[in-house]
Amino acid sequence: MAKVYFSEDHEWISVEGGVGIVGITEYAQEQLGDVVFVELPELGTEVEKGDDVAVVESVKAASEVYSPVSGEIVEINEDLAEAPGLVNQHAEADGWFYKIVLSDETELDDLMNRKDYDAFVEDLD
């Protein structure tokens, strides 16, 4: 079963078998408002934890999406090109951005679980 982690930059990553699926959190998409465009990373790109790898644009603002872990981008969510609103509808499911093969699974130790992330977000309001 996949385990889900969250970053302080409001990205989530669901990890199973050394592969992570990354997107932005429900909280992040609520702050952005209606998403109108998503710029995704190139397949095969090697990224370091904390690198900006994607851009999400809304009617309110454009925002960088940072990689919560290091690794290689092996798949992107091509549905977002035609339907960027998926991020608003299903930010933590069908609105995922990319899949990454983790190069260092110990980086997950620096991320939060759902309970800790929910408490983190609550403190922001």
pLDDT tens digits, residue range 5-46? 999 999 999 999 999 999 999 999 999 999 999 999 999 999
Q: What are the φ and ψ backbone dihedral angles of 27, each rounded to 5 degrees?
A: -60, -45
Q: Examine the pLDDT at 93 and tell me if it is beyond 90.
A: yes
DSSP E strand stretches across 1-125: 3-6, 11-16, 19-24, 35-39, 46-47, 52-58, 62-66, 71-76, 98-102
**pTM of the model as a whole:** 0.96
The per-residue pLDDT for 10 is: 97
For residue 113, name the pLDDT band (cuts at 50, 70, 90).
very high
Share of the chain above pLDDT 90, in %: 94
| Domain range enclosing 83 | 3-124
Q: What is the CATH number of the domain that holds 10?
A: 2.40.50.100
Q: Examine the pLDDT at 65 and tell me if it is beyond 90.
A: yes
Measure the CA–CA gap between 92 and 11, rounded to whole angstroms: 9
Per the structure, the count of domains in the chain is: 1
Q: Examine the pLDDT at 2 and tell me if it is beyond 90.
A: no
Q: Classify burial at 3, counting beta carbons within 10 Å of its beta carbon; exposed 0-12, middle 13-18, buried 19 or more.
A: exposed
For residue 125, name the pLDDT band (cuts at 50, 70, 90).
confident
